[in-house]
Structure 1
Amino acid sequence: MAFGFFLSPHLGLGPAACALGFAKKKGYVEDSKGIALPLIMLGKPSVLVVGGLFGVLSYYIKLGLDVILPGKIDAVSAAIVIIGIIAKILFGNEGVIGKVPEGDRRFGVASKNKWMPHMPSGEGITYWLFAGGASLLAGLLYWEICEFGKTFADTNPALAENITIVAQFPVFALAVIFLILLCTGLPCPVFHHVGLVACYGAMIPYASGANELVVLLWAMSCGILSHFVADLLADLFLVYGDGYVDPPSLSMAACSLFTWILFPALGLYNGVAMIVTPIVLLVISAVIACVLQAKRKAALSAETAA
């Protein structure tokens, strides 16, 4: 429900996470990041009221962003981020980014705390390959579904447009199934942001008439980018201090600005740049993955030796 077309995450997930932060502040729960907890079981109407109020706020934030930046930002994800930060300020105990305990470090493979301990970015090559595979699948499905939608362009333009919109979501929907399993305690991957941002990266090249290979390169490069961005922003806004600011939403909001504002402004979707840019992004991200892998291996070796 919270990730579907009935409520949308900015009306389901985001407000519930804010209510969880309130519950932690009141002493009703011990963990302000355990978003799998059904809050109704607490038997505290005030928690549900807070969730409802944040839901109303998020609804209007999303509407406002749609007016101010139409088609330029993932307004759903941005609304989740904004209310999450507000809740962290109101209900948290260490500010927006939290305080790093002595002996730990916020960033890097040697950090003792991670958003997803079972899939750290320090597993660089595996991390890169997984994100690349999910992104490639998302881009391929986006291309095929959009091509199918074109067959209705003359007879039913509205249907063709709706099919193009739906083309963004197959891998996102697949990833949500894994989120359900994650909530049961299984160490499943989180990649709905990867699938969605991959399609964000593919949209403008596809609309510009790029061939399938170029569209897939953009999808893959942007999906991998979102994977690393989520981990980086999680270290900044989620891992330390009370409160939950959703890393995938952070990544989707940030990467939508890249794909829909920054890249077009730099002319990266035009001419030769349309072909070269995703290749450069893939190479850079692969190098970063290899460096992270080497650093993690060295850190683990040093820890074992100690």
Structure 2
Amino acid sequence: MAEFADLWWLGMLLAAFAGGAFGAAIGALPAFIFTGFLVMLGEGAKILIGDLSGIAGFDPALFEQSSAITGQLGFGPVFGPHISFAGGAAASAYAAKKGYMNTGFPYHEAKNIAFAQGPKPDVLVAGGLFGILGYWITSISVTLGLPWDPIAIAVVLSALAHRLFLGYPLIGKTDKGILNMDPFVKEEERIAKAEKDTKIRLLVEPWLGHQYKWADISILGVVVGILAAFTTYETGSVFLPFGISAATLLFLNLGVERIPVTHHMSLIGSTSIVAATGGAYMGYSLGLMLLTGALFGFIAALFGELFQRVFYAHGDTHVDPPAGAIVMGTLLIAALAMFGIFPDAAWIPLPF
């Protein structure tokens, strides 16, 4: 059977292709919501099985099986955001370029990541190919031990790659200032040449029209960081807060107005208390851990807004601000560990 074992890499590429196509078919945002529910399921199962571990006749293999739900499904080569979400975002960019999308979306159609492309063959292939790209970027990052979230960096680099590959501008026109949101407030418009016609678009298009003011996102980051730290402190799961935040986007996808997007704040907030204490957060007061989570949730919120102003607001396709914030937030935590300020970096890879 050794010769078949050598085909493991082919199986992973096929899984990644299918995952990217899946994201294209149902839409990038619905695919990411699916990730959130899988992570909640996997982490919930681990917590439950951990509680049952002292019972006579308990099978330790159950813990490994529950871990696989998070690791191999939620963050794995089919449903991981670097594959299904990134593939779905690339598919939207491709479909808009081909003139397949006419949904009335107020921004460029390529930014419409909630739209399900369905079973259109060339769009599925585009999503599948970018699923493979996301898999390779993540694998290289893990192999080299690069000090950031290997999944988030793949989401970011995949999005920049589909912009360049499909002929979209890397950032867009920034004549009024790259960080300036005033043109959005004043509803300044531009006439943009689309692939099939022209349309009037806002000169600056914030990622979320209800979530871009510095004061708003700052308090949101503090609140979410506290909630994430509390959840991790009480359950022992660093990824459950991320899963909960991702799952709440179901309401955003269903059209509920003003739903905040918070998974970057959750993940950095929960990771911070694990890294800051070397995993021994239960030995510290709850209040101190919640303050730590609040600080890093706040930092992640600022990172996300900075990223959206640079890479999203002026461009034509979706480059994910939470993924960018997670890259920068995990890089910060890794740097604190490498300089000896934190005892370790939790789950974040380190180069040594």
TM-score of the aligned structures, taking structure 2 as reference length? 0.64
Asked if 1 retains the 8 angstrom alpha-carbon contact of 2:274 and 2:280, the reply is: no
Match of 1:47 among 103, 106, 123: 123
Q: Equivalent residue for 1:171?
A: 241
Q: 1:209 deviation in Å?
A: 4.0
- 1:12 and 2:84 equivalent? yes
- 1:35 and 2:113 equivalent? yes
State how many pairs are aligned. Answer: 241
Asked if 2 retains the 8 angstrom alpha-carbon contact of 1:92 and 1:242, the reply is: no
List per-residue Cα deviations over 1:52-87 (Å, max 9, x = no partner): 0110111121111111116x3111111111111100
Q: 1:248 deviation in Å?
A: 0.5
Q: 1:18 deviation in Å?
A: 0.8
Letter in 2 for 1:24: A
Distance 1:195 1:239, change over 3 A: same
Asked if 2 retains the 8 angstrom alpha-carbon contact of 1:134 and 1:171, the reply is: no
Root-mean-square deviation over aligned CA pairs: 2.0
Letter in 1 for 2:157: I
Distance 1:121 1:69, change over 3 A: farther
Distance 1:139 1:127, change over 3 A: same
Gaps of at least 5 residues in structure 1 are 147-166, 271-306
Letter in 2 for 1:130: L
Q: Equivalent residue for 1:299?
A: none
Asked if 2 retains the 8 angstrom alpha-carbon contact of 1:10 and 1:58, the reply is: yes
Alpha-carbon distance in 2 for matches of 1:214, 1:28: 52
Gaps of at least 5 residues in structure 2 are 1-30, 39-69, 74-78, 103-108, 185-203, 344-352
Asked if 1 retains the 8 angstrom alpha-carbon contact of 2:241 and 2:270, the reply is: no
Match of 2:342 among 269, 273, 280: 269
Match of 1:91 among 161, 166, 170: 166
Letter in 2 for 1:22: Y
Alpha-carbon distance in 1 for matches of 2:181, 2:130: 35
Q: Equivalent residue for 2:329?
A: 255
Residues 1-306 of structure 1: pairs in structure 2 closer than 5 A = 1-2=31-32, 3=35, 4=38, 5=70, 6=73, 7-29=79-101, 31-40=109-118, 44-69=120-145, 72-94=147-169, 96-100=170-174, 104-112=176-184, 113=204, 114-122=206-214, 124=215, 126-146=216-236, 167-186=237-256, 187-207=258-278, 209=280, 211-212=284-285, 213-260=287-334, 262-269=335-342
Asked if 2 retains the 8 angstrom alpha-carbon contact of 1:136 and 1:216, the reply is: yes
Q: 1:185 deviation in Å?
A: 2.2
Letter in 1 for 2:137: I
SS at match of 2:182: coil
Q: Which moved more, 1:56-65 or 1:110-119?
A: 110-119
Alpha-carbon distance in 2 for matches of 1:63, 1:258: 21
TM-score of the aligned structures, taking structure 1 as reference length? 0.73
Letter in 1 for 2:212: P
Q: 1:106 deviation in Å?
A: 2.4
List per-residue Cα deviations over 1:109-151 (Å, max 9, x = no partner): 52423111112224x0x432222111111111112222xxxxx
- The higher relative CO (CA closer than 8 Å, separation ≥ 6) is in 1
Alpha-carbon distance in 1 for matches of 2:234, 2:276: 14
SS at match of 2:234: helix
Identity %: 25
Q: 1:252 deviation in Å?
A: 0.4
List per-residue Cα deviations over 1:173-223 (Å, max 9, x = no partner): 222232111112222100011100112211222326461344333221111
Q: 1:268 deviation in Å?
A: 2.8
List per-residue Cα deviations over 1:236-280 (Å, max 9, x = no partner): 1112122211110111011110011x212343337xxxxxxxxxx
Alpha-carbon distance in 2 for matches of 1:97, 1:137: 34
Letter in 2 for 1:115: W
Q: Equivalent residue for 2:21?
A: none
Alpha-carbon distance in 1 for matches of 2:130, 2:168: 19
Letter in 2 for 1:46: D
Asked if 1 retains the 8 angstrom alpha-carbon contact of 2:277 and 2:342, the reply is: no
